C-alpha cells in the first residue's frame, strides 16, 4: 500500500474555478463549513489573496469561537492537505496527547471507571494540538500572516455573536455539567441559565488569547504565559498537566492511507485515526461483489457486515503507531479482505460475538466539526476538528478562555470498558504518557474520472460509516449530486453493540423488515447525526459544486 501513497495525481489542477452550490447559484468561495461565520472568515482570507491553507486557519479558529461545543484551540484535529504547486498530498496530525503523569489507574478501580474523570473536568483534558497546527499551516503553506488569518476569530470572540437554536439545543445536553464549572458557566450561559435565541455570546478572554497567539506565535500557548496559566488552572482542578507537556507538543506529518475502490483513488487519514484503515478494509471487502446488481437491502446488509469486521479490527489492533505495532499492511490487504469476505453470507448476519470476545455496552451522543476547502489554484483541505464530547471537558483553563477537550476518554480504560461513544478496545489503545488516543475522524479525498470529491463529517464513532456511505454514493452513481451525498439517510454498525442504528424517518418499513429478516437487530435513533461538508471538483469543466449537511442547520 505504501507504494501507492505518493502516486496521487489529480485530474483537475484548475486555475479559474466557477463555484456553484446545489441549485447552481454562485457561491462566494470554495468553502463548506458547519457555520456561516466560519465560512465567511475563510472567504475573506481568499479575497485578500490568501490560499486554501490560510483560509483553513481562519475557518478553524472561527469555528472554535462560534461552535465551542464542537472544537477550539483547546482541542485537536486532522488535516488532509493537497498542495497544487508541488502536487503533494500530506496528512497533518494535530491530535491531542496524554499528559506524562496520566495513567489508567487514575481513571479505573477494580475494572470499573471512577466516576466521569475521563469525561468531565480537568482530569479529562489531553494536551491540545490546534494552535501548533494553525501556525504550521501558515508557516509551511500559507501566503499571508498568522495574525491576519486569526483576525475574524479574534473579532467575533471579542464582539460576540448571536446564538441560534442549534447552540441552545446542544448546550442543553451539557447544561448541568457546564454549571458545575463557574468559569465555563460564566462564558457560555446566560446568567447561569440556558441562553435564549439571539443572546450575544462574547468570549473576551479567548479573544485576548487568540490575539497573543497571532502576535507572538503558538509558542506563547505552549511555552509562554498562556501555557503557565492553563497548567496552573488544570492542576488546581486536579488535572495531570505539567508545563513540559505543553512545551514538548509537536504536530506530526504522516503518510496518508491511499487505496483504490472501483477505479476511484481514495486518500484518507492514517493512524491514530482508525477511519482510513477501517474504510480500506470495508471497501476491499465490498470490491468482491457486483454491487450494482444488489437491492438496497442487500447492499446495506453487505456494507454492515463489512463495517462489523472493520470496527472489530479497530477494537482489537488499532492505536497510536508510535506505541503499538499495528499490522497495517495486513489489515488493508486484498488477501485479508478475501478471508474476511468468506465469512459473510448474503442471506444472514454474522453475530458480533463470533468475531470477538469483547463485551456489549451502550453508546452516547457526540460532536465534532468538519470543513472542506478548495482555492483557485487547486489547493485543497479536508479537516476534521474536535474537543470530543459536547463542550469537551466543560472545563475552561482559568482566565485564558480556552475550553479544554475531554479526549482522555478516547483511550481505552480496560478491555471491554466502553468510552462515551460506546466504542471498546484492547491494550493497543490504553493510556500511556505522550500517547495519542485512537480517533474516528476521517477527512478524505476521492479521485476518479468524474473529478475530485472532498468529504468529511463530525459524528464520533459514526464518522467512519458516514464517510463510507458518502463515498459509496459518489462511486456507484455516474451522476454526482453532492446534495444527495450529504442528505441521504444513514445507518451505522460499529461491531459492538451488535445492532444497526438508523436515522429516524430515513428508511421505509420494507427496508427495515428486509434487514431484520437477515438477522440484524435494528435500533431507530432518537435523532439524526452528522454534519457533512463536501466539495466536488468536476473534471475538465472548471466547475466546483459544494453542499452542506441539512442536519447542521
Q: Is 78 exposed, middle or buried (0-12, 13-18, 19+ CB in 10 A)?
A: buried
CB of 194 closer than 8 Å to CB of 201: no
Distance, C-alpha 48 to centroid of its chain: 28
User: Is 415 tagged catalytic?
Assistant: no
Tell me which residue has cell 501566503. 143
The single-letter DSSP state of residue 269 is -
Q: How far apart are CA 63 and CA 58, in angstroms?
A: 8
Name 517's Cβ contacts closer than 8 Å, sequence gap at least 6.
none
- What size, in residues, is the chain? 553
Three-state SS at 91 = strand
Distances (CA, A) of 357 to 330, 417, 478, 522: 21, 13, 41, 21
Judge whether 50 and 57 are in contact, CB under 8 Å: no
Give CA 137 to chain center in angstroms: 18
The pairing of strands 522-524 and 500-502 is parallel
- The DSSP secondary-structure symbol of 145 reads -
User: Would you say 386 and 76 are in contact if contact means Cβ atoms under 8 Å apart?
Assistant: yes
Task: Classify strands 252-254 and 200-201 as parallel, antiparallel or unpaired.
Answer: unpaired
Active-site residue identified among 368, 384, 426, 534: 368
The CA distance from 491 to 514, in Å, is 14
Task: Count CA within 13 A, CB hemisphere, residue 49.
Answer: 4
Helix segments in 217-290, DSSP class H:
219-223, 225-236, 243-247, 275-286
Residues labelled catalytic: 368
Amino acid at each position: 500500500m505504501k507504494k501507492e501513497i505518493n502516486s496521487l495525481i489529480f485530474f483537475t489542477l484548475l486555475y479559474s474555478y466557477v463555484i456553484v452550490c446545489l441549485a447552481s447559484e454562485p457561491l462566494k468561495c470554495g468553502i463548506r463549513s458547519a457555520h456561516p461565520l466560519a465560512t465567511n472568515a475563510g472567504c475573506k482570507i481568499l479575497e485578500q489573496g490568501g490560499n486554501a491553507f490560510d483560509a483553513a486557519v481562519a475557518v478553524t479558529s472561527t469555528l472554535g469561537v462560534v461552535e465551542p461545543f464542537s472544537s477550539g484551540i483547546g482541542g485537536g484535529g486532522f488535516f488532509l492537505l493537497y498542495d497544487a504547486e508541488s502536487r503533494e498530498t500530506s496528512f497533518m496530525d494535530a491530535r491531542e496527547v496524554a499528559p506524562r503523569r496520566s495513567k489508567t489507574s487514575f481513571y479505573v478501580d477494580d475494572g470499573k471507571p471512577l466516576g466521569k474523570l475521563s469525561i468531565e473536568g480537568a482530569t479529562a483534558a489531553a494536551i491540545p494540538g490546534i494552535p501548533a497546527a494553525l501556525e504550521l499551516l501558515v508557516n509551511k503553506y500559507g501566503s499571508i500572516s498568522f495574525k491576519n488569518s486569526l483576525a475574524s476569530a479574534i473579532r467575533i470572540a471579542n464582539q460576540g455573536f448571536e446564538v441560534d437554536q442549534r447552540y441552545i439545543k446542544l448546550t442543553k445536553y451539557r447544561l448541568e455539567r457546564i454549571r458545575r464549572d463557574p468559569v465555563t458557566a460564566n462564558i457560555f450561559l446566560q446568567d447561569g441559565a440556558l441562553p435564549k435565541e439571539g443572546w450575544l455570546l462574547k468570549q473576551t478572554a479567548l479573544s485576548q488569547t487568540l490575539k497573543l497567539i497571532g502576535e507572538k506565535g503558538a509558542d506563547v500557548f505552549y511555552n509562554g504565559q498562556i501555557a503557565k496559566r492553563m497548567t496552573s488552572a488544570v492542576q488546581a482542578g486536579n488535572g495531570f498537566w505539567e508545563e513540559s507537556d505543553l512545551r514538548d507538543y509537536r504536530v506530526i506529518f504522516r503518510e496518508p492511507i491511499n487505496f483504490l475502490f472501483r477505479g476511484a483513488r481514495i486518500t484518507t487519514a492514517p493512524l491514530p485515526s482508525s477511519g482510513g484503515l477501517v474504510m480500506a478494509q470495508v471497501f476491499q471487502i465490498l470490491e468482491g461483489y457486483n454491487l450494482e446488481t444488489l437491492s438496497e437491502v442487500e447492499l446495506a446488509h453487505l456494507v454492515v457486515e463489512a463495517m462489523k469486521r472493520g470496527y472489530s479490527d479497530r477494537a482489537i489492533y488499532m492505536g497510536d503507531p508510535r506505541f503499538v505495532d499495528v499490522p497495517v499492511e495486513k489489515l488493508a490487504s486484498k488477501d485479508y479482505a478475501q478471508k474476511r469476505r468468506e465469512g459473510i453470507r448474503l442471506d444472514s448476519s454474522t453475530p458480533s460475538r463470533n468475531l470477538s470476545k469483547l463485551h456489549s455496552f451502550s453508546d452516547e451522543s457526540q460532536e465534532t466539526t468538519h470543513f472542506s476547502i478548495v482555492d483557485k489554484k487547486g489547493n485543497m483541505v479536508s479537516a476534521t476538528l474536535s474537543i470530543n464530547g459536547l463542550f469537551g471537558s466543560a472545563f475552561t483553563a482559568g482566565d485564558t478562555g480556552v475550553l479544554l477537550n475531554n479526549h482522555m476518554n478516547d483511550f481505552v480504560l480496560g478491555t471491554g470498558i466502553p468510552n462515551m461513544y460506546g466504542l471498546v478496545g484492547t491494550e493497543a489503545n490504553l493510556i500511556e504518557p505522550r500517547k495519542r488516543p485512537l480517533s474516528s475522524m476521517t477527512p478524505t479525498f476521492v479521485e476518479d474520472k468524474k473529478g475530485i470529491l472532498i468529504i468529511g463529517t463530525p459524528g464520533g464513532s459514526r464518522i467512519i460509516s458516514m464517510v463510507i456511505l458518502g463515498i459509496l454514493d459518489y462511486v456507484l452513481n455516474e451522476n454526482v449530486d453532492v446534495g444527495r451525498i450529504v442528505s441521504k439517510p444513514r445507518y451505522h454498525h460499529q461491531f459492538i453493540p451488535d445492532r444497526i442504528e438508523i436515522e429516524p424517518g430515513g428508511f421505509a418499513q420494507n427496508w427495515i423488515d428486509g434487514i431484520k429478516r437477515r438477522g440484524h437487530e435494528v435500533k431507530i435513533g432518537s435523532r439524526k447525526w452528522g454534519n457533512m461538508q463536501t466539495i466536488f471538483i468536476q473534471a475538465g469543466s472548471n466547475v466546483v459544486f459544494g453542499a452542506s449537511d441539512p442536519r447542521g442547520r
